[in-house]
Every structure is written in C-alpha cells, then in structure tokens.
Chain A
Amino acid sequence: EVQLVESGGGLVQPGRSMKLSCAASGFTFNNYDMAWVCQAPKKGLEWVATISYDGSSTYYRDSVKGRFTISRDNAKSTLYLQMDSLRSEDTATYYCARGRSLFAYWGQGTLVTVSS
C-alpha cells in the first residue's frame, strides 16, 4: 500500500525557517517524481514544487523561488521541503504527492502557520 506521511509543520515566526519531510513507502520511491502542493486555510490547492525521480531537476512556483528548496533522499525514501524566509502568506497545509503532474497519491498534510 502506498503511503506518504508528512511531518515537520508547526508554528514559526515570519522570516524564520522550517523543514518539512515526507516519508514514502509501498512503492519504489526512486522511480517517481515527487511534488509539494499547499492549501491555505479555507482556500484552494496550489502546486509548490516538484523534483525529478533522481533529484537532478527541480521546479518551483514563482512565489517561493529562492526561498524554498525541494530535495530528496532516495536511500531513505524521503522527500523534503526546506522553507526559508517564511512569510505569513506561506501559512498553509502542505501535502506531498507522488508524480510530476498527475497526483494519484497524497499524504495527509502538515500544517505550517507563520505568525509572530
């Protein structure tokens, strides 16, 4: 059974950093591109970033370029999102999802709240 389990969310002050993790199981992790998708409270879904299966290519939405870094450790079957210089508008539930742009599997999400 495919499982994606996010962790690392919580309350963080504006300007600070936070690193999210997504532990994958039930499939061959290094065969798949992976993505992060976020959802602000009571709002819609927004794609955040994608990383290729081997980590060689990364893609970001404009609003996080230069602040967020997506990475992966294929030996640990784990996806990461390093978030720096956090802003209040980054407050959202962050989901990891399997795939480049067809998201057949999603984690349960981890809530990041940016507030002083």
Chain B
Amino acid sequence: DIVMTQSPTSMSISVGDRVTMNCKASQNVGSNVDWYQQKTGQSPKLLIYKASNRYTGVPDRFTGSGSGTDFTFTISNMQAEDLAVYYCMQSNSYPPTFGGGTKLELK
C-alpha cells in the first residue's frame, strides 16, 4: 500500500496567518491526491481533488499543489472556522490511503 506522510502533525496558528502543510507519498501518485477537512465532531469534507482543483463551494483561500510524491496544501488567510484536522489521501491506486492528518490549533 502507498504510505502518505503528512507534516507537521500539528500547528499553532493565528487568524490571518498563511498556513502551509505537506504530504509525501511513498511512491509516485501522479496528481491523484485529495485534501479533506474534518472539524471536531463532524464528518470529513472534500476541499481539493487531483492535487490542485478546488471542490464546489470551497473558498479560494484554500489551495493545493504538487505532483509525483510531494504535495502542499495552503490556507492563505486563516479564519477561525478553518480550525480542523486536514488529511491528504492518494486516489492513484487501490487501496486509497490517508495521511495521518495535520491539526490546526489556535496560538
């Protein structure tokens, strides 16, 4: 199975910050990486698909980039409602595998 390694595991941030997190695949997954947001007590929500495509209704402060084995997810202007755990997931080959998550916390 493809292993997805996210870093950092947590970040202390302030409203208005630019937030960047990373995801590294154990083998080439092309552009087949998606990003999900999970707020406390809620189910995950798709934000970005195929590395850089924003899903319907997702604010443009959320962006994704990368290909091959290295991927980046950025929130350009952190809002309080963005506090959550963010997961990357590779959908290049079965089984789909998730990273361990990056938790955003307020400073």
Contacts and interface: CB of A to CB of B under 8 A. Distances in A.
Contacts of B30: none
Interface string B81-107: 000000101010011111111000000
Contacts, number: 43
B34 interface: yes
A102 B43 contact: no
B43 A59 contact: no
Contacts of A101: 91, 94, 96
Interface of B: 34, 36, 38, 43-46, 49, 55, 87, 89, 91, 94-101
A104 B87 CA distance: 14
Contacts of B34: 102-103
How large, as a class, is the contact surface on chain A? 10 to 19
B43 A45 contact: no
A76 interface: no
Given A95-B43, A102-B49, A103-B46, A44 B96 contact: no
A102 B91 contact: yes
Given A101-B96, A102-B34, A45 B44 contact: yes
B46 A61 contact: no
Nearest to B34: A102
Given A107-B43, A108-B43, A44 B87 contact: yes
A103 B34 CA distance: 9
